[in-house]
Amino acid sequence: MANPLNIGIVGGSIAGCSAAIYLSRAGHKVTIFERSTGKLQGRGGGIATPMATFQSLVEEDVIDADFPHTIVREMPFVARTPNDVQLGRTAWTLSVDLACFHWGSLWENLRERVDDRSYLNERHVTGANMHGSDTAILHLEDGSTHEFDLVLFADGYHSLGRRLLEPDSELRYRGYLLWRGLLSEASMRNSDPLAEKMPRLTYAQLEGHLVIYIVPGIDGSTTEGERLYNWGAYIPVDGDELPELMTDREGRSHIGSLPPGSMRRENEKRLKELMGANLPGYFAEIIDKSENTFIQLIYTADVQAYARDRIGLLGDAGDVVQPFTTSGVFKGFNNARDLAAALNEQQSVDDAVAHWSQTQTQRGKRILTLGEQMEQAFIWNPLDFASADAATTEAWWKSSVAEDEEFGFADER
């Protein structure tokens, strides 16, 4: 591409920083507008991503070669039975290849690669519009306006950009939430049942399931005994029960997520009891000992296009997909990398953006389909892992979830 572009990015999280890295390396001038005041802190949760995505991040120097992570190679499908009350019965084990780490470490690593002069904190974007055919204008809360050749909204699942580009696209609550927590490895007598494993455990008397795996310690340590158990329990909850559940200890109501340590004690106790009644003892004990647990409501949203004119969407600002898929890291990272490549390869900016929008929209639809398949399999119609044999479980998995080489099917936010 002949001329470097002046590009404005709304949101300096995973997708925004990835875009800034790829686009500035391609010679474009980037400016990130991030409404937060300083460092983005992880919400206390780990992420797993396919090893292929993780290796690309390292090979392309988007994260450090020694970025702290743990490895998962097996995903056993487990349930409690009267004979296996402690560890549960494994119906079948899926082979996987995943890297697991902390969201906060990933953000810090990406952020280190973005020039401080390009990353503007405390800049709340309130609007955007086109001026002519090749200028996009951002409006900020402080009253200022900024002109760009291209504007990218990387502003998360409640995206202003998505609302501007696709007013009809809605966030849809999926009827279940993800209750999450962390516990130090040393709190349990041993972590052997989770060595390089990410079990998915169905409940005895409830739809949904638990996923659990080991991530590095908060300081990045991957030494045995210093790491953390990271778990997430998918639990169906009717929409009319949410206002009470999403009200914190101080009486404040939250939309979308309830931060660590703010959940009402009686609700946390009730969920711990629910898990105690439904899970094998070892896993129920991990949950019972965890403190400062938190909630993330599960939504989806789909868009018809990733860009209109010179305004585009990145990461969760585009399609929002269930966390069973690779949506957490994979989407924002790939949207950013593909955009830099399209701008490099196409003759004109408009052709590049249109081509990029088409490929991202297609990929988004594939991830959404995968999310719906996995939702049916893991939330609404799980197999009975307490009784199914290995051949039946393998056949059920293969008929439920289509294999997809590009993003695999085993990433967790």
Query: DSSP state, 377?
Result: I
- The per-residue DSSP string of 8-39 comes to EEE--SHHHHHHHHHHHHTT-EEEEE--SSSP
Of 302, 41, 18, nearest in space to 168 by CA:
302
Alpha-carbon dihedral 32, 309, 158, 50, rounded to 10 degrees? -80
Q: Which is nearer to ligand FAD, 43 or 289 (CB)?
A: 43
**CB 39 to ligand FAD: min, Å:** 9
Nearest-angstrom CA–CA distance, 24 and 40: 21
The residues that touch ligand FAD, with contacts defined as CB under 6 A, are 10-16, 33-36, 40, 42-45, 47, 103, 124-125, 154-156, 160, 315-317, 328, 332, 413
Q: Which is nearer to ligand FAD, 103 or 203 (CB)?
A: 103
Question: The tokens of 238 are what?
Answer: 């009717």
**CB 140 to ligand FAD: min, Å:** 8
* CA atoms 177, 183, 189, 191: torsion sign: positive
| Location of structure tokens 């919400």 | 43
Q: Which is nearer to ligand FAD, 13 or 393 (CB)?
A: 13
Q: Which is nearer to ligand FAD, 91 or 128 (CB)?
A: 128
Nearest-angstrom CA–CA distance, 65 and 61: 8
Alpha-carbon dihedral 219, 224, 227, 228, rounded to 10 degrees? -170
**CB 13 to ligand FAD: min, Å:** 3
**CB 312 to ligand FAD: min, Å:** 13
Residue nearest to ligand FAD (CB): 315
Q: Which is nearer to ligand FAD, 81 or 184 (CB)?
A: 184
**CB 295 to ligand FAD: min, Å:** 12
**CB 30 to ligand FAD: min, Å:** 14
Q: Which is nearer to ligand FAD, 367 or 383 (CB)?
A: 367
